Chains A and B, each alone.
Chain A
Amino acid sequence: MKSILHTTLILSVTFILSGCFKDNDGEGECNPNAVCYTQPPETLYVTLHLSDSPDGSPVKVRLYVGDVDDGQLFDSFTTTLSEETYLLPVNTDYSAEAEYSDGEITIIAVDGDRLNRKSFENCDVTCYDYDHGITLDLELE
């Protein structure tokens, strides 16, 4: 019983802590046929996920460089689409607001993240993922 408890505790800690570490795909591998971009990208994708407004009206979206409360407004528009994508400079924080209407009620969904490069090692060469990007989840709960 004691060994079961010890094992359970160690496995629980290991399982939970493993989620804290970034997934470094392909570490230690060598695939000479893999596509490898050695030039670090200067821009990557920022995708905004949106819901339909409860009353069917278009959603007002504002994109900021930095946080919404102290950043710089980058773009403002109205949309009925569920997804909007930007190609933006890396190593920068981005945030966005989506304003939904439900009759007299207004709900402003906020999300933000930092756009960083993602890389992996292949045959002792650093390769950059040009498909990497961040998603800002502005969908209504």
Chain B
Amino acid sequence: MTNRLLYTLFALIFLMSVSFSSKAQMYTRNPFQVSYFQPHFGINAETYFNGSDILFSFGLGLEETGYDFSASFNIGFRPYLKKVRFQDEQNENLYYQYRERITLFSIDLEKRFYFLEYSKGDNINRVGAYAKGKFGYLYANYRGLSESLNQRFLIAPGAGASWEFKNARLSLGYLFLDDGSERSSNMIDFTISLFFNKNREE
């Protein structure tokens, strides 16, 4: 199921890139090819969601377009209060329902592997895949309680498709976010990234 989803995403990205650049000539590219170190300041906006939850995240940090990696500090949050239930540890017939707010502070590390490249005017656009990890601290607070019932360090891995333009990148893929609850950890992850002072690649 996951492989089929990834193949579908790659096909969609490929078709979209060709449709936007009907006159562009597309080249295959060695995904492990690197250039020289080219750091830029970058910002990103992200949403990760599944059928029962959605979170937004904003970050800023390093975008590197020679070795194709990025590192950013992100703050993610659920934009609404969600009702959640916890079973009492001592009494299996007793449940507590709270209104939960989540905040996730994370360092996001991402490496991209581009295997398609095409020129559009003076710019070189690239299509490929990414692998990422969110290394962070999740804090949940509950209205009416003085203490948090759920705060933890976590690592959330993810992967998907990436489409890079001159100063921007779209990424769509999968994120595994285990917040320690019984809710599904499988999420769709969509990110828009902007990087600054990127010159035309030689």
What distance in Å separates the Cβ of A82 from its nearest Cβ neighbour in chain B?
Answer: 17
A68 to B149, CA, bound (A): 14
Enumerate chain B residues within 8 angstroms of A69, measured Cβ to Cβ.
Answer: 145-147
When distances are taken between beta carbons in the complex, the residues of chain B under 8 Å from A108 are 94-97
Main secondary structure of the interface of B (DSSP, over half): strand
A111 interfacial by beta-carbon distance below 8 Å: yes
Question: Contact between B165 and A110 (Cβ–Cβ < 8 Å)?
Answer: no
Stretch from B64-72, B110-118, B153-161, B166-174 at the A interface: B166-174
Within the complex, which residue of B56, B99, B165 is in contact with A1, where a contact is CB–CB below 8 Å?
B165
Contact B166 A2 (CB under 8 A): yes
Any B CB within 8 A of the CB of A113: yes
Q: For residue A52, which residues in chain B have a CB less than 8 angstroms away from its CB?
A: none
Collect the chain A residues with CB atoms within 8 Å of residue B146's CB.
66-67, 69-70
Per the bound structure, the CA–CA distance linking A7 and B16 in Å amounts to 19
Query: Which of the candidate stretches A9-17, A23-31, A84-92, A123-131 sits at the interface with the other chain?
Result: A9-17
A5 with B192: CB separation less than 8 A: yes
A101 to B103, CA, bound (A): 32
CB-CB under 8 A for A107 and B85, given A5-B165, A13-B45, A16-B79: yes
CB-defined contacts of A109 to chain B, threshold 8 Å: 96-97
Name the residue on B nearest A114 (C-beta). Answer: B143
Complex-state Cα separation, A64 to B194, whole angstroms = 48
Q: A5-B165, A6-B168, A16-B79 are in contact. Are A110 and B56 (CB under 8 A)?
A: no
Number of A-B residue pairs, CB cutoff 8 Å, is 81
Place the interface of chain B in its size category.
Answer: 20 to 34
Is A8 within 8 A of B192, CB to CB? yes
Min Cβ gap B5→A in Å is: 24
What are the residues of chain A within 8 A of B43 when measuring CB–CB? Answer: 9
CA distance A9 to B58 in the complex (A): 11
Partner of A106, one of B45, B95, B98: B95
Q: Does B83 contact A (CB under 8 A)?
A: yes
Contact B97 A140 (CB under 8 A): yes
Smallest Cβ distance from A56 to chain B, in angstroms?
Answer: 18
Q: Report A105 CB to chain B, min CB distance, Å.
A: 5
Residues on the A chain within 8 Å of B56, using CB: 16
Asked if A9 and B96 make an inter-chain contact with CB atoms under 8 angstroms apart, the answer reads no
Chain A residues in 8 Å Cβ range of B147: 69
- Give chain B residues whose Cβ lies under 8 Å from the Cβ of A113: 143
Residue A19 interfacial (CB < 8 Å): yes
Can you report 26 residue pairs joining A to B where beta carbons are below 8 Å apart? Answer: A2-B165, A2-B166, A2-B167, A6-B194, A9-B168, A9-B194, A12-B45, A64-B144, A68-B144, A95-B144, A95-B145, A104-B93, A105-B93, A105-B95, A106-B95, A108-B94, A108-B95, A108-B96, A109-B96, A110-B142, A110-B144, A111-B143, A111-B144, A112-B143, A112-B145, A113-B143
- Name 7 extra pairs, CB < 8 A, besides A5-B170, A6-B194, A110-B145: A9-B45, A106-B95, A107-B95, A108-B94, A109-B97, A110-B142, A137-B99
